[in-house]
């Protein structure tokens, strides 16, 4: 069984394999706290909410969402108020049952997802996937224990995806598109959940919980811990995210950047470690289907604004843009347009 960080003996010092070179680990400046993620109350007037979401998307690509969105005909919005207890940590009895090889739909793993050279990073992850719209037909490989895992994950997924789809509808309205523009195959793939667990780290200044990266999917909703750790790239620096109780951190994936021809941006983010307190988060990824063909939409193109991104299937995008540019990303210079030009 793969060695999990949370189950390993407490280290007095950080093992060598987790230490990043100093030039790959720029620290946030002391002034970073002056800029914070927008907090958007989804229960406010719909016009006000969609303007705020669009402004946040153009400015920083992230925001924190709280409150229940006002429903519209056909909407499926709504979400629970906290992390279901069975999702709080990817440890304990489920470890053996969930262990799978790399690339499997459902698995538990530690420290090996990104190609960062010789370095590892300080995270354990439980990865689960739910088919949509038939959540009950989720892929095989789910464990028998804990007994209520499937029930809780399915309920959580339906509620969280509903919130994400409402955010996408609000975005479409703000962009002048029909409300269901981002429904169908572009948001119809498996809904993937990452239960991320970051154990206390003996030297948070020398390693990372997750390296800087952009999400390759359409939209991500993170149910954060109240322990700080997430940082977002902004104007060449890092913003330390202060979690809001009961709120989701929402960020735009690469596919939204491609579809809008760069009007909306997928922004780099990373996770720092913590010396004394464990941190657990739940990330929900709204994904296109593998065969979905994605490129800049005609509504965002003109003679003065030609396509800035290649059109390809989501499966091709994942194979090509698989964090192979992480070396530059660690120095905060990743640009999806430039990456595609090099392909």
List pLDDT tens digits, range 23-37.
778 777 654 445 678
Q: How does pLDDT run across 104-119, given as a tens digit for each residue?
A: 567 788 876 666 666 7
If DSSP codes are grouped into helix, strand and coil, which group holds residue 300? helix
Q: On the CB side of 29, how many CA atoms lie within 13 Å of its CA? A: 9
Q: What is the pTM of this model?
A: 0.85
Where exactly are the structural domains of the chain? 35-342
CATH class of 35-342: mainly beta
Look at the block and give the residue holding tokens 């981002």.
182
CA distances from residue 198 to 90, 94, 178, 201 in whole angstroms, order as listed: 10, 17, 40, 8
Nearest to 271 by CA among 171, 194, 175, 187: 194
pLDDT in tens, the chain (343 residues): 357 787 777 777 888 888 888 877 877 765 444 567 899 999 999 999 999 999 998 888 999 999 887 655 444 444 343 334 444 444 444 433 333 434 456 778 887 666 666 678 899 998 888 887 665 555 455 666 677 777 888 888 889 999 999 999 999 999 988 999 999 999 999 999 999 999 999 999 999 999 888 899 999 999 988 899 999 998 888 888 998 888 999 999 999 999 999 999 999 999 999 888 999 999 999 999 999 999 999 999 999 999 999 999 999 998 877 654 455 555 555 567 766 665 5
CA distance 127 to 225: 17
């Amino acid at each position: 069984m793969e060695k999990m960080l949370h189950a390993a003996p407490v280290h007095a010092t950080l093992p060598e394999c987790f230490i990043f070179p100093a030039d790959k680990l720029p620290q946030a400046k002391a002034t970073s706290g002056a800029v914070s993620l927008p907090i958007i109350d989804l229960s406010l007037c719909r016009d006000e909410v969609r303007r705020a979401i669009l402004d946040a998307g153009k400015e920083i690509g992230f925001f924190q969402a709280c409150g229940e969105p006002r429903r519209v005909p056909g909407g499926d919005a709504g979400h629970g108020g906290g992390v279901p207890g069975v999702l709080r940590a990817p440890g304990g009895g489920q470890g053996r049952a969930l262990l799978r090889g790399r690339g499997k739909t459902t698995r538990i793993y530690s420290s090996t997802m990104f190609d960062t050279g010789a370095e590892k990073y300080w995270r354990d992850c439980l990865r689960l996937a739910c088919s949509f719209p038939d959540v009950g037909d989720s892929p095989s490989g789910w464990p028998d224990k804990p007994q209520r895992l499937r029930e809780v994950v399915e309920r959580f997924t339906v509620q969280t995806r509903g919130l994400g789809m409402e955010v996408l509808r609000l975005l479409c309205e703000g962009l002048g598109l029909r409300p269901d523009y981002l429904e169908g195959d572009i948001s119809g793939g498996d809904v993937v959940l990452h239960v991320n667990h970051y154990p206390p780290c003996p030297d948070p200044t020398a390693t990372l919980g997750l390296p800087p990266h952009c999400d390759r999917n359409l939209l991500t909703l993170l149910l954060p811990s109240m322990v700080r750790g997430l940082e977002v790239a902004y104007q060449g620096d890092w913003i330390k995210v202060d979690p809001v109780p009961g709120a989701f951190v929402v960020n735009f994936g690469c596919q939204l950047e491609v579809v809008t021809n760069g009007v909306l941006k997928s922004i780099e983010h990373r996770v720092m470690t913590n010396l004394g307190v464990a941190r657990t988060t739940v990330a929900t990824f709204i994904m296109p289907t593998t065969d979905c063909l994605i490129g800049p939409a005609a509504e965002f193109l003109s003679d003065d604004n030609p396509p800035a991104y290649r059109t390809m299937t989501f499966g091709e995008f994942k194979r090509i843009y698989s964090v192979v540019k992480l070396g530059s990303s660690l120095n905060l210079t990743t640009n999806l347009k430039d990456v595609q030009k090099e392909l």
